[in-house]
Amino acid sequence: MNSVDQAIESRMSVRAFTKEPVSREIILNLLDLSARAPSGTNTQPWKAYVLEGEKLQQLCNLVCAAYDSIAQHPELEKEYQAGYDYYPTKWFSPYIDRRRENGWGLYGLLGITKGDKDKMHAQHRKNFEFFGAPVGIFFTIDKELGRGSMLDYGMFLQNFMIAARGKNLDTCPQAAWNTFSKIILPFIGAQDNEMLVCGMALGHADKEDIVNTFRTPRVSAQEFTTWIK
């Protein structure tokens, strides 16, 4: 494969990282490369907040505490709402089938069985520790921009993840953080007009952790493509 194909093919959502640091020079280079993504009329709707060290740990502690409190007091869940609907309000096939395949594939690998709420909670909680990555990034967008800008943002994020692979780095894009935007946005100093798009873990994959052997399947192009003649 050529280098671009290899970077795309090797990209995966890594869920365990080493503590090996990533330099600010590399992070800025990745963001500069990502910003070559197309955007409608060159609006460039992206904004990034990079957390490392003590500040990263402080935020992780705050969000983990909120996540744990919901487990103990489910009525608190209504206090934490994402800025936009990432998933449908009602699931249906084939999407619910793929979601289940993904969830139980991962949990099965980790020995988590259906109904084991404590282990499920602990695994999901790792989202809010950036899976141990040394760098956590939050991406925001102006609330007043349209749906098309979210499409632009997706291309920006994909650029970031592919460029990271080009430097032998790994990532995990995380919508899980969105639920706790009321904690995150003030902490990072975002303005009132900003909405959280997602979080992103960045670092080097822990190749010894079994969780990183999990690769999600993909539907082939033959199945989702219709030829119009």
pLDDT at 1: 65
d(CA 77, CA 104): 24
Asked if the structure places residue 210 within a domain, the reply is: yes
Q: Determine the 3-state secondary structure of 49 from DSSP.
A: strand
Mean pLDDT within 171-194? 98
pLDDT tens profile 36-76: 999 999 999 999 999 999 999 999 999 999 999 999 999 99
Domain count, the chain: 1
Does any domain span residue 93?
no
Mean pLDDT score, 119-148: 97
What average pLDDT does the segment 186-193 reach?
98
What percent of the chain shows pLDDT beyond 70? 100
Is 225 inside any structural domain?
no
Residue 101 inside a domain? The answer is no
Averaged pLDDT, 158-163? 98
Rounded to an integer, the average pLDDT of 87-99 is 96
- Write down the pLDDT at residue 61: 98
**Is 227 a domain residue?**
no
pLDDT of residue 163: 98
What's the pLDDT band for 160 if we cut at 50, 70, 90? very high
Q: What percent of the chain has pLDDT over 90?
A: 98
Are the C-beta atoms of residues 201 and 130 closer than 8 Å to each other?
yes
CATH code, domain with 192: 3.40.109.10
d(CA 90, CA 76): 22
Mean pLDDT of the chain: 97
What is the enclosing helix (H) or strand (E) of 117?
A: helix 117-125
pLDDT band at 197 (very low <50, low <70, confident <90, very high): very high
Beta strands in the chain, from DSSP E residues, in sequence order? 47-52, 135-142, 170-174, 194-203
**pLDDT score, position 159:** 98
CB 212 within 8 A of CB 109: no
What would the DSSP string read from start to end of 124-175?
HHGGGGGGG-SEEEEEEEETTS-HHHHHHHHHHHHHHHHHHHHTT-EEEEES
Residue 169 is part of which domain span? 3-16+52-84+116-131+153-215
Does the residue 90 lie in any domain? no
The answer to the question of residue 143 being in a domain is: no
32 part of a folded domain? no
